Structure 1
Amino acid sequence: MKSSLRSRQEPRRVSNAVIIGAMLLSLCVLSIVKARYCATPFAAGKAEDQLQEQMNSSIRMETEEESPARTSGEEEDDEEEEATSAAPAAKVVAAAGGGGRKGKPTCYMTSKRSERCDVSGDIRVDGNRSAIYVSGIDREWKTKPYARYHDPVAMEHVRQYTLKPLLDTTSAAPACTKNHSVPGFLFSNGGFSGNLYHDYTDVLVPLFISTHQFKRRVQFLLSGMKPWWVVKFTPFFRQLTRFDVIDVDNDREVHCFPRLVVGATFHKDMGVIPAKSPGHVSVVDFKRALRAAFGLEREAASRRGGAPGTNGKPRLLIISRRNSRRFLNEREMASAAAAAGFDVRVAEPDQHTDMATFAKLVNSADVMIGVHGAGLTNMVFLPRGAVLIQVVPFGGLEWLTGVTFKDPAADMEVNYMDYNVKLDESSLIDQYPRNHPVLTDPYAIHKQGWDALKAAYLDKQNIRMDLDRFRATLQEALNRLP
């Protein structure tokens, strides 16, 4: 009897053991998944990545004042390399055929931020209706030619274009009124353009990556055109195209091309990845194009100066700001820098600043300092070996200042330095009680999202530099100059 009972209980024990083991294994798996993907938003070592993810991976640089057919040979090989090195094709319209490129999709994501459509054959652009008629595709595709796809706020302000099948010459497609023998390239300056940082990271650098290989034999079509913006960057456009930029949204012509590319390719913030770029160009080549565009003569910085009017002194350029994140003791800073042996210039760039004039001023500097903001984008004009000092506002913003200016600096052959603002240098100390989370726990504010962070640490903060720290920083910058 006992033997029979024991034999009946054995399977139950085994079954229970299996169930308990499965539960323990599930708990272990869940713990691993949670540790990998669901960590506390500001766990050590991961704060920057997770904060960026929380904010939709969006770096929005705020300003104070919102406002013939394809050639063969090397060019073709370069473009082949660009397509194959891009991110895996997604959102495919159709495999190229009937004038498309063999084995490649018509439209594909080149990164999480950029989409590219590349078509050849009978192509008719009716910009007034935001329509592009293409032979060889069998369905419609909608695209927005601005390299910030991960950011819905920006993309709301970008006009959408529709690629439509051109089935035969008797279809509803409009007749050509202007024929072009060179490829067309359609891009947008909607989104956040007008802010200098976004001008470069969202538009100009991707434009360079995507069109330099055409060797100026390409017609630019610009959607969302701001005339003042085009005037500002026309010298740069002239390095990439020999033709005037067309305001495609408002142009009454139906432009016909043998080939059309819609949308520029993004690599990284303010940067170029040579291995993914046609011809393996880098951001140094981009800077070289800027130098040619604006007639910049200084190639290298020096602790002995060299810019006209400096009398052998290194030049310090202080980037001034009008409203938030301004230096409260700017005059004292200039005096301290002059006493330390610098030729000092103070300048405040804005939307209305003449680009060529300001580019020359930045190019004359050996050291440039400014509080985090769009004005630091002018680092693209610094000569090789110059020092950029980014003043990082109080509030745990190192992740933001790193992505925007620190990381790109090395590729641009610029020596980078941080100046991290201490609480007693920040105007926030006069705005909040000493026990307020804005002062005591910045990451608690970060957890509330971008708007809360921006309001607390970017919109309301000014800086009174500790002059002793400032002098020591200038001495280190001087030591870094070649």
Structure 2
Amino acid sequence: MKPHRTFPRPEPRRTGSGFIIASMLLSVCILSLIKARYCSAPYGKSRESSELEITMGAIRMLAAKSGDLALKGREDGEDNRVLLEAVSREKAAMEVKKPVCIETSRRSDVCEAEGDVRVRASAQTIFVDPFLTSQEWKMKPYARKHDQPALAHVEEWTIKPFTEQEAPPSCTENYTVPAVVFSVGGYTGNLFHDFTDVIVPLFITSSRFHGEVQFVIADAKPWWLTKFSLLLKQLSKYEIIDADNDQDAVRCFPRVIAGLDFHKELGVDPAKAPSGYSMTDFKEMLRRAYGLERTRAEPSGDRWDVRRKPRLLIISRRSSRVFLNERGMSDMAMSLGFDVRIADPDVTTDLGKFARLVNSADVMIGVYGAGLTNIVFLPAGAVFIQVVPMGNLEWLARDTFEKPSPDMQIKYMDYRIQADESTLSDQYRKDHPVFTDPRSIHKKGWSELSRVYLENQDVKPHLGRLRITLLEALKFLPHGRKTTTQ
């Protein structure tokens, strides 16, 4: 270790000016280093060289303004050397590298690198400039990071700095736009997870680029890419790169984001979104993608009439949580003046056609399940009624569909199934814990909760109770366009 060196004490006549010049120089140099560290350098230009240029420029500027004080005498030269050593120490302190990967929420990790970034998708590897990080990072680009069953279907990616000993692979293609790398593994195929785990986070992450972004999609399923192709084209102007079938290509980008930013279930937080976007903007994107005509749930004229009855859409189910009296529900709703439609979406449903059907509805009703995700296509002012199965599942219904509704400008209502409206009453005695102590079932874990209350329960709402709910829904609907007075 170098021994500590003491320097001659400056003469009193030089203390004031020397201290002032030193302070000014240090301040400018430190600010210059901060700028070099945190502001993007042009593609292909080293941030280290940018720092050096800015620092030396600041030194030259202050030297000129100080009348070349550093050249006036031996003591001044000594002071100048001390000053430069101090600047060097400050620069070394600034060399602490900020992390490439950060936890953007409890659900998502996002890794981001700029400069010379090379993607070898077939090896799930992203090579970055060692100046950005000396650490190797591993992550799974799917917004459900603590959910091991979901992550079992997501390939792990490595963010790796190249070194002198291990040069980066040569570029086979160069791009001028940034790339976003993400997975469509996990729980995709379930419409709720398609949107809350992928589509909404992708909107949050990529909409700031206004289409000037390249998607690199891992764990891709051809049918999934086809189903959501119109949405993907709204967010990127470029053909998708299928990471699993990219062979040995090395694609070089000026910027790469791996992983998607998650805010909340089926939601966007404008305060966190890079460009301040909200769910209103997300729904506008859906309207463009699928040609949805209605922005608001309101009659074509001054009021609802025989020419334009309010439309009720019943989301039907086939295997579990089935409406056992669907026809009776429909007849009762028609007697109240509704134009009733019944639809049963599944994984093969044409999303565009179904989106337009949902957009034509003023009221939508369905039992808790993935099909209720279609509320994203409802016009503003529509009413959404969630039928909550028996079993103290209000928390589940609240977190998945009730909370997102206000940001979509949808009026939320629920209809809670009672014991005599549930097929559970045919399977268990009245004094069984399924009825008397649902929390004891919950404590056994998600698998048991799902088996009892979701997979093996159908419902038969009382038409009298349901009639009251539908009449209430009618009151919430807009009855005419707003008029402005001059």
- The TM-score range, normalised by the shorter chain, is 0.7 to 0.9
Q: 1:88 matched to which residue of 2?
A: none
Give the aligned residue type for 2:286. Answer: L
CA distance in 1, matches of 2:262, 2:98: 19
Cα distance, 1:254–1:448 mapped onto 2, change above 3 Å:
same
Alignment of 1:17-32 (within 5 A): none
Show the counterpart of 1:134. 128
The answer to whether the 8 A contact 2:220-2:242 is kept is yes
CA 1:149–1:186: 2 relative to 1, 3 Å: same
**Structure 1 SS opposite 2:271:** helix
Q: CA separation in 1, counterparts of 2:301 and 2:230? A: 27
Amino acid corresponding to residue 458 of structure 2 in structure 1: N
Q: Give the equivalent residue in structure 2 for 1:476.
A: 472
Q: Look up the SS of the partner of 2:107 in the other structure.
A: coil
Partner of 1:30: none
Following superposition, the deviation at residue 309 of structure 1 comes to: 12
Aligned pairs (5 A) from 1:189-228: 189-228=184-223
| 1:70-109 matched pairs, under 5 angstroms | 104-109=98-103
Question: One-letter code of the match for 1:123?
Answer: V
Equivalent pair of 2:227/2:350 in contact (CA under 8 Å): yes
Q: State the distance in 2 between where 1:447 and 1:234 align.
A: 41
Provide structure 1 residue ranges, at least 5 long, that are not aligned to the other structure: 1-68, 73-96
Tell me how far apart the structure 1 counterparts of residues 41 and 221 of structure 2 sit (CA, whole Å).
Answer: 29
Rounded to whole Å, the distance in 1 between the matches of 2:371 and 2:187 is 15
- Do residues 233 (structure 1) and 234 (structure 2) align? no
Alignment of 1:76-475 (within 5 A): 104-136=98-130, 137-168=133-164, 171-252=166-247, 253-302=249-298, 311-475=307-471
Coordinate RMSD, CA, aligned: 2.3
Q: Residue 220 of structure 1: CA displacement?
A: 0.2
Measured against aligned partners, the alpha-carbon deviations of 1:127-180 in whole angstroms (never above 9, x if no partner) come to 111111111232211011000012122112111001111224x73532211111
State the percentage of identical aligned residues.
Answer: 53
Provide the C-alpha distance between the structure 1 equivalents of 2:295 and 2:160, rounded to a whole number of angstroms.
48
Match of 1:61 in 2: none
Point out the structure with max Rg over C-alpha. 2
Q: Secondary structure of the equivalent of 1:475?
A: helix
Q: Secondary structure at the match of 1:274?
A: coil
**Amino acid in structure 1 at the alignment position of 2:288:** A
Q: Given residue 220 of structure 2, which amino acid in structure 1 is its aligned partner?
A: M
| 1:240 aligned partner, one-letter code | L
Residue 315 of structure 2 contacts residue 344 of structure 2 at CA under 8 Å; is this kept in 1? Answer: yes
Gap change, CA 1:171 and 1:428, over 3 Å in 2: same
Give the distance between the partners of 1:384 and 1:423, measured in 2 at CA: 34
Which residue does the alignment assign to 1:89? none
Instruction: Please tell me whether the aligned partners of residues 140 and 155 of structure 2 are also in contact (alpha carbons under 8 angstroms).
Output: yes
**Conserved? CA contact 2:174–2:252, under 8 Å:** yes
C-alpha spacing 1:463/1:255, structure 2 compared with 1 (3 Å): same
For 2:176 and 2:121, how far apart are their aligned partners in 1?
18
Q: Which amino acid aligns with 1:262?
A: A
Q: Is the 8 A contact 1:70 1:183 kept in 2?
A: no
Which whole-Å deviations, capped at 9, do the CAs of 1:49-108 have from their partners, x for residues lacking one? xxxxxxxxxxxxxxxxxxxx9999xxxxxxxxxxxxxxxxxxxxxxxx9xxx99742111
C-alpha displacement of 1:305? 8.8
- Judging changes above 3 Å, is the alpha-carbon distance between structure 1 residues 236 and 112 closer, same or farther for their aligned structure 2 residues? same
TM-score (structure 1 length as normaliser): 0.77
Could you tell me how far 1:198 is from its partner in structure 2?
Answer: 0.5
Q: Quote how far apart the aligned CAs of 1:433 are.
A: 1.4
Asked whether the 8 Å contact 2:41–2:115 carries over to 1, the reply is: no
Aligned pair count?
386
Q: Which amino acid aligns with 2:372?
A: L
Cα distance in 1 for partners of 2:292, 2:423 equals: 38
Instruction: For residues 193-226 of structure 1, give each alpha carbon's deviation from its aligned partner in whole angstroms, at most 9, with x where no partner exists.
Output: 1110001111111111111001111000000001
* Secondary structure, counterpart of 2:403 in structure 1: helix
Q: Give the aligned partner of residue 57 of structure 2.
A: none
For residues 443 and 42 of structure 2, what CA distance do their matches in structure 1 show?
52
2:228 is paired with a residue of what secondary structure? helix
In structure 2, do the counterparts of structure 1 residues 359 and 70 end up closer, same or farther at CA, with 3 Å as the change threshold? farther
CA contact (8 A) 2:178 2:255 kept: yes
Q: Deviations over 1:236-285 (max 9, x none)?
A: 11111100111012212211111100011111111111111112111111
Give the Cα–Cα distance (whole angstroms) in 1 for the partners of residues 359 and 334 of structure 2.
19
Higher relative contact order (CA 8 A, sep 6+): 1
Q: Which amino acid aligns with 1:230?
A: L
d(CA) in 1 for partners of 2:282, 2:98 = 28
- SS of the residue aligned with 2:444? coil
User: d(CA) in 2 for partners of 1:303 and 1:395?
Assistant: 38
Checking the alignment, whether the CA contact within 8 Å between 1:305 and 1:314 is kept in structure 2 is no
Within 2, Cα distance between the matches of 1:71 and 1:124? 16
User: What does residue 13 of structure 1 align with?
Assistant: none
The answer to which of 374-383 and 439-448 deviates more is: 439-448
User: Residue 303 and residue 120 in structure 1: after superposition, are their counterparts in 2 closer, same or farther (change >3 A)?
Assistant: same
In structure 2, do the counterparts of structure 1 residues 453 and 305 end up closer, same or farther at CA, with 3 Å as the change threshold?
farther
Partner SS state of residue 245, structure 2: coil
Q: Name the SS for the 2:320 alignment partner.
A: coil
- Once the two structures are superposed, what CA deviation does each residue of 1:430-458 show, in whole Å capped at 9, x if it has no partner? 01112111122111111111111111100
The residue identity in structure 1 corresponding to 2:116 is D
CA distance in 2, matches of 1:200, 1:145: 15
Q: Summarize deviations over 1:363-384 as a string: whole Å, max 9, x none.
A: 0000000000000000000000
Specify whether residues 264 and 389 from structure 1 end up closer, same or farther in structure 2 by C-alpha distance, changes over 3 A only.
Answer: same
Structure 1, 368-377 or 171-180: larger mean CA deviation: 171-180
